[in-house]
A and B are shown apart, each in its own frame.
Chain A
Amino acid sequence: MLEIKNLHANINGKEILKGLNLTVKAGEIHAIMGPNGAGKSTLASVLTGNPAFEVTEGKVIFEGKDLLELNPEERASEGIFLSFQYPVEIPGVSMVNFMRAAINEQRKYRGQEPIAATDFLRMMREKKELVEMDNKLTNRSVNEGFSGGEKKRNEIFQMAMLNPKLSILDETDSGLDIDALRIVANGVNKLKTPDNASIVITHYQRLLDYIIPDFVHVLYDGKIVKTGDKYLALELEEKGYDWLK
């Protein structure tokens, strides 16, 4: 599904990714762990086309297409979803309008008709239940005045609505209490199918108790320095990252 080869990327002239390789196949969950500043969030930003980052070298192929040639909205419509570490508040844009615009723009990209109003509302209702989201939140502006937990839940809700092929969860566990974490993880697990894949970026092993990864990668100084199974995460929790240097 996704193949990253020798990826180098800069922000403000500073090299953050220094030759990263990663292959993700349909049905897999990959966890990416690593210390602060290793480049975990940069990877998420580069894959989704954040204009603040510059790719200097390397290749990213997604479903046979050169991902780096596509702009952010095209990547999204191709099926890449990012659950933001810091979801953005957009005052004045209601959740309903935002979601409808996103779905219809993606449908348009794929040459489909806009979604029927009744289908849209039914889908909203179903997906809200999935992440146990308060009805009131969808009547408000996007993320405006949401608590940390509500924002993260809202990310998973949007993921459910958009049904991506590849979802990237960037520090989805940060700022969540145990109950919220369980709800969010539960949502992610329910959305899992043999046809989609996830990259879970996290600092802590905690989230991986709920979302069981097929692979755990350690990202250190812009490169993946070690790959293992879910037990690697436990080992990291115990020993820290120093032994990998």
Chain B
Amino acid sequence: MNNTDTNNRANPVSSPSVKSGGAELQYIELYSQHHETIKKHSADVLNEGRDEAFKKFCALGFPDSRLENYKYTDLSESLTVDYGLNINRVRFAVNPYDVFKCDVPGISSYLYFVVNEGFYPVSTPRNETLPEGVIIGSLKTAAEEHSELVKKYFGKLSVKQNDGLVAFNGTFAQDGFFMYVPENVTIDKPVQLVNILRSNADFMANSHNLVILEKGAKAKLLVCDHTVDDVRFFSNRVTEVFVGENASYEHYKLENVHNKTTNLCTLLVDQDTCSSFLGNVITLHNGLTRNTVEIDLDGEHCETLMCGMALSDKNQQIDNFTSVIHNKPNSHSSELFKYVLDDSAKGGFTGKLYVAKDAQKTQAYQTNKNILLKGTAKMRTKPQLEIYADDVKCSHGATIGQLDDKAMFYMRQRGITEKEARLLLMYAFTADVIDNIRIDALQDRIKLLVEKRLRGELSKCEGCVICK
């Protein structure tokens, strides 16, 4: 309400249908009173499952750390904040080009903006040459203009999730980003989606993204998360991705947000036969971050590579919860996650691997390596393998350690200062995650940002106008 007079702010009112007496109440009240408004400002296709999602949320509530899957994510503090929601879809008076200064230099991309949860309808000249048949834009608009197409995919993965945050998103998300790549079409350049959070008051954004690659299609999406204003943000995003037969999709998420941000991202991927998926979630600067990734391999001969990296300090929290589900035989998946944690930062990694009984000849590998720079930093890592097939190759490995003393001394003996030696070692530690970025300009940019971050020159997020 501080922001625009049409913002709705929920009032905490007791309600008998609630699972717990916690933070859920005000949102349940909000939906009960304003579901008409919420639906009015969304699209029919997106509204279909809304009431069901609401019921589910009422039953599940927000996840707390007593749940096995949320052991390493503690939302309790974030949920005490009284966030505003923009259910009337008032357009924020912002020009993303003024706000967004940290474009990746040298990257030639199709560039799009989502401000809070609304797609920003600005077409840049370089977006005008999209290949024939490709649709990129607002999910709400797509749901209106291509309702059959959106209906076929929307919510198909999220509805299966038994997760309070996904249900919450299904209740409140009214719009998001949409990308459709038709059969055998390759998008020649990476698509860059910049998510900007901006508000004058504490703000909550719920967005739903949908990415569809038909048979033989190829695309790369780079998602950059940024915060602009010095207020508390709570972002809860669900992204559904369908990678069709023989299709190839790369998904990069670069997070560079301020430490008052709670950034919850659920990435749900469905892979068809012979498809390939590369995911890379890079957290350079954050507050509290949770990446839930679920990759369903629903065809044979799929290739999956899921990478991630986090550089955290102060009181930042980062939890990557990943599941790779092999439903069919002959697929290959691997995971690589690396964390460098300083101060009192807390990290979590879960690597769930499920190999169904019929998924013979599965090859699945998983690695999580972590460096704790101080005794006060904490890392929890958990491989969780469920294998029901008997002819598979699976392995997992996790390490938590400090920088190698011997290597440190070796470098210092050559004249390299302690500070510089630490930097070189940390940088080297993250190198293999960066090497898995298959967009050259982005790789260079990330290298630079990681170096700056490790040098402490990125104590706030890069590129913000507000952060100085």
Nearest residue, chain B, Cβ from A109: B415
A178 at the interface (CB under 8 A from B): no
Taking a contact as CB atoms under 8 Å apart, the answer to whether B410 and A87 are in contact is yes
Closest Cβ of chain A to B411, distance in Å, is 7
A146 at the interface (CB under 8 A from B): no
A116 at the interface (CB under 8 A from B): no
Which residues from B are CB-within-8-Å of A87? 410
19 interchain pairs, CB-CB under 8 A: A50-B409, A72-B412, A73-B413, A73-B415, A73-B416, A73-B418, A76-B413, A88-B407, A88-B410, A90-B410, A90-B411, A92-B432, A98-B414, A98-B424, A102-B416, A105-B415, A141-B428, A142-B410, A158-B414
Distance A84 CA – B414 CA, assembled complex (angstroms): 11
Bitwise, B384-414 to A at CB < 8 A (1) or not (0) is: 0000000000000000000011110111111
Closest Cβ of chain B to A158, distance in Å, is 7
Interface size on A, residues (CB 8 A): 33
Nearest residue, chain A, Cβ from B435: A92
Bitwise, A83-111 to B at CB < 8 A (1) or not (0) is: 01001111111000110011101100100
Taking a contact as CB atoms under 8 Å apart, the answer to whether A88 and B415 are in contact is no
Of all A-B residue pairs in the complex, the 10 with the closest CB atoms, nearest first, are A92-B428, A76-B415, A102-B414, A106-B415, A72-B412, A88-B410, A92-B431, A73-B412, A93-B428, A77-B415
Which residues from B are CB-within-8-Å of A71? 412, 418
B100 at the interface (CB under 8 A from A): no
Distance A179 CA – B208 CA, assembled complex (angstroms): 67
Which residues from B are CB-within-8-Å of A76? 412-415
Which residues from A are CB-within-8-Å of B415? 73, 76-77, 102-103, 105-106, 109, 162
Which residues from A are CB-within-8-Å of B424? 90, 93, 97-98, 101
B31 at the interface (CB under 8 A from A): no
A51 at the interface (CB under 8 A from B): yes
Taking a contact as CB atoms under 8 Å apart, the answer to whether B416 and A101 are in contact is yes
Nearest residue, chain B, Cβ from A80: B413
B425 at the interface (CB under 8 A from A): yes
Taking a contact as CB atoms under 8 Å apart, the answer to whether A82 and B407 are in contact is no
Interface residue ranges, A against B (CB under 8 Å): 48-52, 71-73, 75-77, 81-82, 84, 87-93, 97-98, 101-103, 105-106, 109, 141-142, 158, 162
Which secondary structure dominates chain B's binding surface?
helix
Taking a contact as CB atoms under 8 Å apart, the answer to whether A90 and B428 are in contact is yes
Distance A103 CA – B413 CA, assembled complex (angstroms): 12
Distance A72 CA – B116 CA, assembled complex (angstroms): 51
Of residues 398 through 456 on chain B, the ones whose CB sits less than 8 Å from some CB of chain A are 404-407, 409-418, 420-421, 424-425, 427-429, 431-432
Distance A97 CA – B418 CA, assembled complex (angstroms): 16
| 20 extra A-B contacts, CB within 8 A, seeds A109-B415, A142-B410 | A48-B413, A49-B412, A52-B405, A73-B416, A73-B417, A76-B413, A76-B415, A84-B413, A88-B406, A90-B404, A90-B410, A92-B425, A92-B429, A93-B425, A97-B424, A98-B414, A105-B415, A105-B417, A141-B428, A162-B414
Distance A87 CA – B411 CA, assembled complex (angstroms): 11
Taking a contact as CB atoms under 8 Å apart, the answer to whether A92 and B414 are in contact is no
Which residues from A are CB-within-8-Å of B406? 88
Closest Cβ of chain B to A231, distance in Å, is 33
Nearest residue, chain B, Cβ from A93: B428
Closest Cβ of chain B to A139, distance in Å, is 14
Q: A90-B428, A93-B424, A93-B428 are in contact. Are A84 and B410 (CB under 8 A)?
A: yes
